[in-house]
Amino acid sequence: MSIIHQRGPARAQASLTPMIDVVFLLVVFFVAVSQIVDQDRLVMDLPSPSPSAAHQPGEGPRAVVNVMPGPDGTSLGYQVDGLLFMPDESGQLDLIEHLRSRMSRTPELFVNIRADQSTAWGWVAPVMEAARFAASTAATPLPAARVRLTVDGDR
């Protein structure tokens, strides 16, 4: 004699495991990307344009030069692409060589200069001069360097 078991209506159940896996992978991805994006960003008190007539530059190839603020409006050096260049003559020459190699590979390169608003202009001007000299001595000499001074437009 056989016994037939009655099961009742079928119920659909969703497994949350694949969704948790996807969410975990997205979290790991965004953490990794945010660390790459913040590599060229130092915490600085950037000047605010007044009036805010500055336009937001379009994306494109760029080298971000951070003029690292020092005490009393001085500079501790220049940071580009994770490299630190001292504010002395040999550091300037190394900065010129680094910018020259970047401009030789990418002629449409923009040089974005970021400086704290307490940093004296005398520490920003050498970076502009280095960009100008690097552009004129690149593998294919450029008529001028493309330089942007960065300000904080969020205030």
Q: Are 32 and 69 in contact (CB under 8 A)?
A: no
- Strands 146-150, 83-85: pairing kind: unpaired
pTM above 0.75, yes or no: no
Q: Tokens 């037939």 identify what position?
A: 4
pLDDT in tens, the chain (155 residues): 566 667 767 677 778 898 999 999 999 988 887 766 556 666 777 666 666 555 565 677 888 999 988 888 888 999 998 899 999 999 999 999 999 999 999 888 889 999 888 888 889 899 999 999 999 888 888 888 888 887 654 44
Q: Tokens 């050498």 identify what position?
A: 126
pLDDT at position 5 is 65
Distances (CA, A) of 139 to 62, 103, 104, 135, 142: 18, 8, 5, 9, 9
Tokens of 104: 């030789």
CATH of 62-150, one of 3.30.420, 1.10.20, 1.10.10, 3.40.1350: 3.30.420
Letter for the amino acid at 86?
Answer: M
Letter for the amino acid at 137?
Answer: T
What residue ranges do the domains of the chain occupy? 62-150
Distance, CA of 79 to CA of 9 (rounded, Å): 68
Letter for the amino acid at 87?
Answer: P
pLDDT at position 155 is 40
Tokens of 137: 């001595």
Bridge partners, residue 77, by sequence: 68
Q: What is the pLDDT of residues 37-72, one digit of tens each?
A: 556 666 777 666 666 555 565 677 888 999 988 888
